[in-house]
Amino acid sequence: MFREIFQKKPKKYATLIPFTVTKPIAAQLDAQRLNQAYETLLRTFPSLYSLLIVKDAQLVFERYEPPAQPLIAYSIKSITKSVMNALVGITIRDGLIESVDQLISDLAPKLPDKWLVNVEGVRIRHLLTMTHGIKVEENSPEMLEIWKSSNWTGAILDKPLVHSPGERFLYCTCSTHLLSAILTKATQVSLNYYASRQLFRPLGIPVPVWWEQSPEGVKWGGNNMFLTPRILARFGQLYLADGIWNGQRLFPAGWVDASFAKQSRGWTDYAAYGYLWWVGSVDGLNYAFASGYGGQYVYVVPTLKSVIVLTASSDSTIAEMQATTNPVIKDPAWILRRFLIDSQLREF
C-alpha cells in the first residue's frame, strides 16, 4: 500500500536528497560486493521495494524495484514508532513534557476515574520501552477489536494493568497510540501538524506528511505514517548526528544515546529495546534500527557513520509474516553484515 504525496517533477528530486550522491568507493565500500549482495537480497526478499545506503553523509547506493519510485511515499508501518520517539524528544525540548519520568496521569488529569486507575504509575518511559503493563498481544484478535472500535484511545484505556509498569516488555501498538494521544494533548495541535512543523520541516521536507488517524481524531501512534525512502534516510541521519540538523538541535542533548541504550529486554531471539528503537550488536558494532511490518527498516550504525533504509510491500498476511524464513526479517543483523561489514574495501 502506498500513497503519492509529492509531485513527480525533476526539480523535486534534488530537494529530497540532502546528501552528496557519490560512488561506493568514496565511502570505502566495494561496488561489486554491494551489487552481489543486492542480487542475493532480491532472491531472498522478492517483496523488496528499495534499499538506500548513506555512509559518511554520502548517498552511495540507491536501488528501487517496481512499483517503488524515489518520490512515492509508502506506509512505513511500525517505523512510525521511532518517529514517535523523535516527537517525544522534541516535546521535552519544548518544555511540553518534563521528562520521560512524567506520569501519564499528570499529563491527562481529567481522565475519568476508571481510566486513571488503568494508568496508575505509568510514565512516559514505560510507553517508550514497551513496559506499559497492559497485556494485549500485537496483531491479536483483541488488538484488532480495538482498531475496529469508534474510540481507540478509550478502548486502550479500558484495559487494566496486568503487570506493574516497567516490569515486563510487551511490544504493543496500543502503548504508542496512547502515547500519541498524550502528545496530542501536550502540544494542543494535531500531531501530524506538530511533526511537520517541528521535525520534518527542519529536515527540509516542506509539505505535510500523511498519517492515518483514528476515529477519535488521534494520529495512529506507531503505524501508517507515509514517507519516502529518502526521507527515512534523512531521519536516520538525524540520529547519526545526535539530533542536530543544519546546526539546529532538534532533540535534547543525550536523547539519542538514551534512545539507543538498552532500556528493556526486548525479544531475546531478536534484539533488545531502547526508546522505541530496537538495539543490537554485530561483530562488535553497536547499532539501532527502526522496524516495520513486511520489511521496513532504518538502520543507524554510529561507528561506521552509516544509515541503511529498506522498504518493502506490506501486503503479506499476519500468518505469512509469522511463518516467514526470510533472513532479513528473522535476523536484524543480516543486512549489516552483507552491505556494510562484508562490502568494505579491503587493503592488501
Reported pTM: 0.93
Summarised one tens digit per residue, pLDDT across range 206-251 is 878 899 999 999 999 999 999 999 999 999 999 999 999 999 999 9
User: Which grid coordinates are listed for 222?
Assistant: 506507531
Position 18 scores a pLDDT of: 63
Q: What's the distance, Cα to Cα, between the start and end of the chain in Å?
A: 47
**Does 347 map to a domain?**
no
**Does 256 map to a domain?**
yes
The full DSSP string for 138-166 is TT-HHHHHHHHSS-HHHHHHTSPPSS-TT
> How many domains does the chain contain in total?
1
Task: Tell whether the model's pLDDT for residue 13 goes beyond 70.
Answer: no
Task: Tell whether the model's pLDDT for residue 131 goes beyond 60.
Answer: yes
**Does 255 map to a domain?**
yes
Specify which residues 74 forms β-bridges with: 2, 227
Position 326 scores a pLDDT of: 85
* CATH classification at residue 227: 3.40.710.10
**Does 218 map to a domain?**
yes
Nearest-10 crossing angle of helices 229-240, 79-93: 50
Highest mean pLDDT among 6-15, 20-29, 154-163: 154-163
Whether 312 and 296 have beta carbons less than 8 Å apart is answered as yes
Show the domain range for 206. 2-341
Amino acid sitting at position 66: P
Q: Please state, as a whole number, how many other Cβ atoms lie within 10 Å of the Cβ of residue 8.
A: 11
Q: How far apart are CA 55 and CA 345, in angstroms?
A: 13
**Does 199 map to a domain?**
yes
Percent pLDDT > 90 in the chain is 82
**Does 158 map to a domain?**
yes
User: Which grid coordinates are listed for 246?
Assistant: 543544519
Position 207 scores a pLDDT of: 77
Position 16 scores a pLDDT of: 52
**Does 176 map to a domain?**
yes
**Does 244 map to a domain?**
yes
Q: How far apart are CA 229 and CA 239, in angstroms?
A: 16
Task: Tell whether the model's pLDDT for residue 68 goes beyond 80.
Answer: yes
The full DSSP string for 34-98 is HHHHHHHHHHH-TTEEEEEEEETTEEEEEEE-TT--TT-EEE-TTHHHHHHHHHHHHHHHTTSS-
